[in-house]
Amino acid sequence: MEHIWDQTYECMEREELEQLQLERLQATLNRAYKNVACYRNKFTGMGIVPEDVQSLSDLSKLPFTTKEDLRLNYPYGMFAVPLREVVRIHSSSGTTGKPTVVGYTKNDLKTWSNLVARFMTAAGVTHDDVVQIAFGYGLFTGAFGLHYGSETIGATVIPMSAGNTEKQIMIMQDYKTTALVCTPTYAITLADKMEKMGIDPKSLSLKVGLFGGEPWSEAMRREIESRLCLSATDNYGLSEIIGPGVAGECRHKCGMHIFEDAFIPEIIDPETCQPLPPGSVGELVLTTLTKEAFPMIRYRTRDMTSLDYAKCACGRTMVRMKKTMGRSDDMLIIKGVNVFPSQIEEVLFAVEGCEPHYQLVVDRNGSMDVLEVRIEVTENIFFDEMKRQKAFLETIEKRIESVLGVGITVKLVEPNSIPRQEGKASRVIDKRNI
Q: Which residues contact 168 (CB under 8 A, 6 or more apart)?
A: 132, 134, 160, 190
CA distance 139 to 159: 15
Would you call 7 helix, strand, or coil by DSSP?
Answer: helix
Burial 38-51 (b: 16+ CB within 10 A, else e): bbeebbeeeebebe
* Amino acid type, 264: I
Q: Residue 383: in which H helix or E strand, if any?
A: none
What length does the chain have?
434
What's 325's DSSP letter? -
CB 296, CB 241: distance < 8 Å:
yes
Map out the domains of the chain with their CATH numbers: 1-328 (3.40.50.12780), 332-430 (3.30.300.30)
Taking CA atoms, 112 is separated from 29, 262, 419, in Å, by: 20, 10, 34
Per-residue pLDDT of the chain (434 residues), as tens digits, is: 578 999 999 999 999 999 999 999 999 999 999 999 999 999 999 999 999 999 999 999 999 999 999 999 999 999 999 999 999 999 876 544 678 899 999 999 999 999 999 999 999 999 999 999 999 999 989 999 999 999 999 999 999 999 999 999 999 999 999 999 999 989 999 999 999 999 999 999 999 999 998 888 898 999 999 999 999 999 999 999 999 999 999 999 999 999 999 999 999 999 999 999 999 999 999 999 999 999 999 999 999 999 999 999 999 999 999 999 877 876 787 877 778 888 888 888 888 888 888 999 999 887 678 899 999 988 888 888 888 899 999 999 999 999 888 889 999 998 889 988 777 777 888 887 54
Distance CA 25, CA 20 (A): 8
Total-model pTM: 0.87
Which one-letter amino acid corresponds to residue 413? V
- Residues near 99 by Cβ (< 8 Å), separated by ≥ 6? 74, 91, 92, 93, 139
